[in-house]
């Protein structure tokens, strides 16, 4: 007899959390190289640093998110002007346009961060 499914396969949330922590570590160690490679659309030499800070902020916020609060996060983001979709029981899907400026991406992440913060504080 095999073990129950939840013991056989990590939950999507656990898999995401493990991926996020690994990605954060890899990007943190690669930020300088990414900064040096950055040439599109302009050479601003901060892409790696920005990615590192973004992932670190998300990784810091994730443990505080109540897995049952995703609907509340989606709603809070909507009220802040950001459209996101719940995807399953424990994921939020971002749907950016095909062309997205750095400023728009930064604004979207700030709005999502604010929505997550609002839900986790309540």
Query: Which tokens belong to 5?
Result: 């499914």
- The per-residue pLDDT for 10 is 56
More confident residue, 61 or 65: 61
pLDDT confidence tier of residue 99, bands split at 50, 70 and 90: confident
Burial of residue 7 (number of CB atoms within 10 Å: 0-12, 13-18, 19+): exposed
- The per-residue pLDDT for 19 is 82
Q: What is the pLDDT of residues 66-88, one digit of tens each?
A: 555 788 888 888 999 988 888 77
Q: What would the mean pLDDT of 18-45 be, rounded to a whole number? A: 80
pTM of the predicted model over 0.75: no
Q: Any idea which residue has 């095999």 for tokens?
A: 2
pLDDT confidence tier of residue 13, bands split at 50, 70 and 90: low
Beta bridge partners of 92: 86
* pLDDT of 59 above 60: yes
Q: What is the pLDDT of residues 35-49, one digit of tens each?
A: 888 666 666 777 788
- The per-residue pLDDT for 54 is 83
* pLDDT of 5 above 50: no
Q: DSSP states of 58-110 as a string?
A: HHHHGGGS-GGGHHHHHHHHHHTT--EEE-TTS-EEE---SS--HHHHHHHHH
Q: Any idea which residue has 């302009």 for tokens?
A: 42
């Amino acid at each position: 007899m095999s073990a129950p499914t939840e013991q056989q396969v990590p939950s999507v949330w656990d898999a995401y959390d493990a991926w996020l922590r690994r990605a954060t570590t890899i990007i943190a160690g690669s930020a300088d190289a990414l900064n040096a490679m950055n040439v599109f659309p302009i050479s601003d030499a901060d892409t790696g640093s920005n990615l590192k800070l973004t992932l670190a902020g998300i990784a810091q916020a994730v443990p505080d998110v109540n897995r049952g609060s995703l609907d509340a996060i989606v709603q809070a983001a909507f009220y802040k002007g950001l459209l996101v979709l719940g995807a399953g029981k424990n994921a939020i899907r971002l749907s950016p346009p095909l062309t997205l400026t750095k400023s728009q991406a930064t604004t979207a992440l700030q709005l999502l961060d604010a929505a997550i913060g609002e839900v986790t504080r309540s």
